[in-house]
Amino acid sequence: MMANDWILTRIEGRAGRITFNRPAALNALDHDMAMAIEAAIDGWRDDPTVALIVIDAVGEKAFCAGGDIAAVYRAGIAGDLRPGRDFWRDEYRMNAKIAEYPKPVVSFMQGFVMGGGVGVGGHASQRIAGDTTQIAMPETGIGLIPDVGGTLILARAPGRVGEYLGLTGGRIGAADALYAGFADHYLPEAEWPGLIARLVETGDPGVIPRGLVPAAKGQLADRRPQIEAGFGGRDIHEIVASLEAAGTQFAADTLKVLRRNSALSLEATLRLVRMTRAEPTIRAALSNEFRFTFRAVEEADFLEGVRAQIIDKDRNPQWKYSPETLPMAEVTRLLAPVPSGWEIDFAA
């Protein structure tokens, strides 16, 4: 086991096991935890005794509810940009290694799976959701963007579903996770321990049951016509205008959510999802996302968003712009390539 007991890593039978073990914090992922995951999968890559990797979590409430960004916030308030940049760059390298891993990776995603949790569980080759699963990329609500390779999953979602989920940060259950491409299989959570035991014994992902359907119906398929109509615009100005013109309850509810989120983050998210759709690889997605997060602490709405949602919890962020006043040149600047020497070293 690792010294950091928030991430438990070990070999059992034919499987490398990674378990989030920080349930009191909803298994929030910090820098050390990300590095522990990377060290484990690096060590097992060429180990012939490890046939596959199983990633799961302790606690019923969350697989991983996101990145632990309190340290990034504290450093940022003090004017130190390095901790955030180092965390995101290292985390993204780990995300890419999971996505590109040469052996099967099976993730069991119960409860909240948000942000950094999607970056671990969402890039596994076999992703299992259950009845408690609630997946979201809610970063626009804290002045960030869907990162950890989330824009790749959003870019691959049907139609404009990726734009809708990325901009609103909406939560989806198992049925919609299957529909949108955040999960591959549904299995009742009572059956997870038995399946993990079979995976450990056999090292064969072929033992995963296929084709089971959750009892709770999803909503995205029924909403698709309204999502397509509302989120096809070239920028956030056009999306807001089309939703305002629609006059439907869906449009009104969606506008209310968008106006709560950072306009800078909304437009950047829209551009990033579409940039990744044009080059749909994990490395392109992460490299493009890092353009924003590299600058997020100093130049975007991140510090104010974290203050309002997580630190002071007044839920009243004072964003720099509204969708109507947002200068597009500011978003272009935030998405410029990172300075030389700061690129993600995916081969490390």
* Residue 139 known to be catalytic: yes
* Other residues' Cβ atoms within 10 Å of the Cβ of residue 226: 17
Record the tokens describing residue 83, joined without a space: 């901790």
Instruction: Give the span between the Cα atoms of 143 and 191, in whole angstroms.
Output: 38
**Residue 281: beta bridge partners?**
none
Find where tokens 């439907």 sit. Answer: 248
Helix (H, G, I), strand (E, B) or coil at 204: coil
The answer to whether the CB of 121 falls within 8 A of the CB of 64 is yes
Out of 147, 163, 176, 301, pick the active-site residue: 147
* Residue 147 known to be catalytic: yes
Cα 34 to Cα 38, 172, 321, distances in angstroms: 6, 25, 33
Q: What phi-psi label fits residue 233: left (phi over 0), alpha (psi between -120 and 50 degrees) or beta?
A: beta
The answer to whether the CB of 14 falls within 8 A of the CB of 52 is yes
**Residue 128: beta bridge partners?**
108, 185
The answer to whether the CB of 139 falls within 8 A of the CB of 207 is no
Helix (H, G, I), strand (E, B) or coil at 15: strand
The answer to whether the CB of 296 falls within 8 A of the CB of 144 is yes
Helix (H, G, I), strand (E, B) or coil at 310: helix
If residue 106 lies in a helix (H) or strand (E), which one and from where to where? strand 105-109
Out of 16, 66, 67, 162, pick the active-site residue: 67
Out of 91, 139, 267, 301, pick the active-site residue: 139
Cα 230 to Cα 238, 252, 255, distances in angstroms: 9, 11, 10
* Residue 203 known to be catalytic: no
Out of 116, 130, 150, 162, pick the active-site residue: 116
The answer to whether the CB of 282 falls within 8 A of the CB of 96 is yes
Instruction: Give the span between the Cα atoms of 297 and 305, in whole angstroms.
Output: 10
Q: Taking Cα atoms as reference points, which of 129, 111, 117 lies closest to residue 183?
A: 129
What secondary structure letter does DSSP report for 203?
-
* Residue 173 known to be catalytic: no
Q: Which residues are catalytic?
A: 67, 116, 139, 147
